[in-house]
Amino acid sequence: MDERAALARVADLVPAAGDDAALLGDTVVTIDMLHDRTDFPAGTTRYTQGWRAVGASLSDVAAMGADATGAVAVYGAPDFDPDALEAFVRGARDVCERVGAEYVGGDLDDTAEFTTATTAVGATDTPVFRSGAEPGDAVCVTGDLGRSAAAIDAFRAGDHERGNDLFRFTPRVRAGVALAPHATAMMDSSDGLARSLHQLAEASDCGFSVDSAEIPVVEGVAFERAVTFGEDFELVCTLPPASVEQVETDVPLSVIGAVTEGGVRLDGEPLPDEGYTH
């Protein structure tokens, strides 16, 4: 049974689940697990791992429109090499600093494979869910897609420095907070834009019509790969067209299309629900 089918099975047990992070009053919380085999190509440094793992959780907080307040992490490894641990913690701390959050520690665990679990916490009075998109809304994306695909290419080509640089993304916390009062639905692009649109469509009971010419892609990455590869941490959101001009984000916000009554279409053709299955 794959992840999505398994999650559907327990959905009734956990009605609060289904967004990038969970809401507890005005606090949002999220948890993720990453490990060597599936998430970190050879050449990824421990510093980058700490940054990226905690960054992924901060991105989930951003996707709720919440301001990230802090994060914690578990460092699971076969041995506790002090230099490796210190590098991981520095990465975790630096990505928190980048978005104005505090890294407040965590735990160690003795695991066969390098494994990290991360939690980020945020605060918001105006949480944004996946479920509020309305036909006529504009659909927007922050930054450029394909950054992680480019990183994988760099790692494969042996350019570990560039791979690590690209892997250390800035979680879109500032943009999420700026978008929150306006956005009708939001999530991050960690499963790829195509899958994100399908998930928003399902949660909001709507469709999307997007235009390939408007979708911002990292230089050197093929369009289709940028749209389906995933592991990027940009925000995908919907907002009333009149709000687009009012929002001031610290990164470019591209209008890539519009919310429709049903169906997810790219340049008028059905866009398959393909992407990264975590």
Please give the structure tokens belonging to residue 46: 């421990």
Cβ 251 to a copy of itself, closest distance in Å?
25
Residues facing 14 on adjacent strands = none
125 part of the interface to a copy of itself, by CB under 8 A: no
Query: How many alpha carbons fall within 13 Å on the CB side of residue 188?
Result: 29
For residues 86 and 214, which CB has a smaller minimum distance to a copy of itself in the complex? 86
Distance in angstroms (rounded) separating the CA atoms of residues 84 and 67: 29
> Using CB under 8 A, which residues numbered 259 to 278 contact a copy of itself?
278
Torsion of CA 12, 181, 148, 40, to 10 degrees: -50
Residue 102: how many other CB atoms lie within 10 Å: 14
10 binds a copy of itself (CB under 8 A): yes
Tell me whether residue 109 is annotated as binding: no
CA gap 6, 11 in Å, rounded:
9
CB contact at 8 A, 187 and 140: no
Told to check if 41 binds a copy of itself by CB under 8 A, we report no
Say whether residue 105 binds a copy of itself (CB under 8 A).
yes
DSSP designation for 3:
H
Contact between 250 and a copy of itself (CB under 8 A)? no
Is residue 201 within 8 A of residue 264, CB to CB? The reply is yes
Annotated ligand binding at 103? The verdict is: no
Angle at 186 between CA 44 and CA 254, to 5 degrees: 80
Identity of the residue numbered 119: T
| Residue 14 or 42 with smaller CB distance to a copy of itself | 14
Among positions 49-88, residues that touch a copy of itself (CB under 8 A) are 69-70, 72-74, 76, 79-82, 85-86
Q: Quick one: CA dihedral 92, 118, 46, 158, positive or negative?
A: negative
The interface region with a copy of itself, picked from 4-12, 132-140, 154-162, 229-237 by CB under 8 A, is 4-12
Annotated binding residues? 20, 30, 32, 39, 60, 106-107, 130, 188, 190-191, 231, 276
Annotated binding residues for Mg(2+)? 20, 30, 32, 60, 107, 188, 191
Residues that bind a copy of itself (CB under 8 A): 1-3, 5-7, 9-10, 13-14, 16-18, 22-25, 27, 29-35, 37-38, 69-70, 72-74, 76, 79-82, 85-86, 89-90, 93, 102-113, 115, 117-119, 121, 123, 278
